[in-house]
Chains A and B, each alone.
Chain A
Amino acid sequence: GEQVEQLPSILRVQEGSSASINCTYENSASNYFPWYKQEPGENPKLIIDIRSNMERKQTQGLIVLLDKKAKRFSLHITDTQPGDSAMYFCAASRGQVVGQLTFGRGTRLQVYA
């Protein structure tokens, strides 16, 4: 199948600390891995993505790591702020069909003071 497992489902971190979300995928041909943030009542929005020709990508306090051998990728949010509280979804392309994505079930991140 084309399952994407995402853990944890709920993550509580103190403001200023780091938060990490991990995803695994099944299809070794997957080559595109986006991360979406969804605030309550809003639509998912792309925050960062990585393609299979990279192992690491960083932008504005977000780091994505990709381990193709282990079929694992992760999102790391550094110096978390209350505004980072939201649902986060990872996704993986279905083989090399970039537009077809399989989503993880989501992680609810709660940043507390």
Chain B
Amino acid sequence: EAAVTQSPRSKVAVTGGKVTLSCHQTNNHDYMYWYRQDTGHGLRLIHYSYVADSTEKGDIPDGYKASRPSQENFSLILELASLSQTAVYFCASRDRYEQYFGPGTRLTVL
């Protein structure tokens, strides 16, 4: 089965601080995604990547950057964390059709 891991699993950050969320997949998938989940909003796409060293904006990219240094790793960076970025963040990788989600990172910005 597909293996996608995320770190940290939870984090408390201060407003204005920098936060980096990491994702690692061992499935040799080209596509990787970052979503955020808020109650009542389902999953919303922040950034995605289909090849190393390249990232694309999703639906809600403002306030987020992404980095794909290798096929296995995909990071989400919050340069200046804000209260509104408190959410659960999921990384996913994709084979031909199915997206496989990591366990999620619960981020709380205070």
Kindly identify which residue among B43, B44, B50, B97 contacts A49, using a CB–CB cutoff of 8 Å. Answer: B97
Report the count of interface residues on B (CB-CB < 8 A).
19
Q: Which of A61-113 contact B (CB under 8 A)?
A: 89, 98-101, 103-106
Whole-angstrom CA separation of A46 from B96 in the bound complex = 14
Closest chain A residue to B98, Cβ basis: A46
Whole-angstrom CA separation of A100 from B104 in the bound complex = 19
Main secondary structure of the interface of A (DSSP, over half): strand
User: By the criterion CB–CB under 8 Å, are A89 and B43 in contact?
Assistant: yes
Interface status of A8 (Cβ within 8 A of chain B): no
Seen from chain B, the residues whose Cβ lies within 8 Å of a Cβ on chain A are: 31, 40-45, 48, 50, 90, 94, 96-99, 101-104
Seen from chain A, the residues whose Cβ lies within 8 Å of a Cβ on chain B are: 6, 9, 32, 34, 42-46, 49, 89, 98-101, 103-106
